[in-house]
Amino acid sequence: MSTPSNLTIKNFEAILKAEKANLEKNIQMLKAEVSSIESDKDIGDMEDLAELEIDNSRDHAILYKLQSQVSEIDAALIRISMGIYGICEKTGKSIPIERLIANPTARTVVGE
């Protein structure tokens, strides 16, 4: 079982940390928006209320997706710290570098 070189792993670690910081920034902005929607008391009519409900529902779905992405990044960073990043969780084979470039949080080899 071989892993990508340490330099490559350091590069992936930097990419993952930068993406996590970006996601966390977006999560904070979205939480502020959700909070402002939930506290909006100036609802003029049923159309406004329906629109706010749709916006709130969409924002919660996006928030869930962003938080899931952060969790995947955290798991990848843990794998890096354990020295098992780039190793397929199912087969123990090395995940191709091209797959890791396309999806730095990849846990498995495609087709396995």
Number of structural domains the chain divides into = 1
Task: Judge whether 110 lies within some domain.
Answer: no
Beta-carbon contacts of 17 under 8 Å, excluding residues fewer than 6 positions away, are 77
The CA distance from 60 to 34, in Å, is 8
Task: Judge whether 94 lies within some domain.
Answer: no
Task: Judge whether 67 lies within some domain.
Answer: yes
Residue 17's domain comprises: 6-86
Give the pair of three-digit tokens for residue 49: 């209320």
Residue 85 contacts residue 79 (beta carbons within 8 Å): yes
pLDDT in tens, the chain (112 residues): 444 455 589 999 999 999 999 999 999 998 888 777 666 656 666 666 677 777 778 888 999 999 999 999 999 999 999 999 999 999 999 999 989 999 999 999 987 6
Task: Judge whether 13 lies within some domain.
Answer: yes
Task: Judge whether 24 lies within some domain.
Answer: yes
pLDDT of residue 47: 67
Task: Fill in the DSSP letter of residue 7.
Answer: H
Residue 94 contacts residue 3 (beta carbons within 8 Å): yes
Q: According to DSSP H, which parts of 1-112 are helical?
A: 6-38, 46-82, 97-102
Task: Judge whether 106 lies within some domain.
Answer: no
Task: Judge whether 111 lies within some domain.
Answer: no
Task: Judge whether 93 lies within some domain.
Answer: no
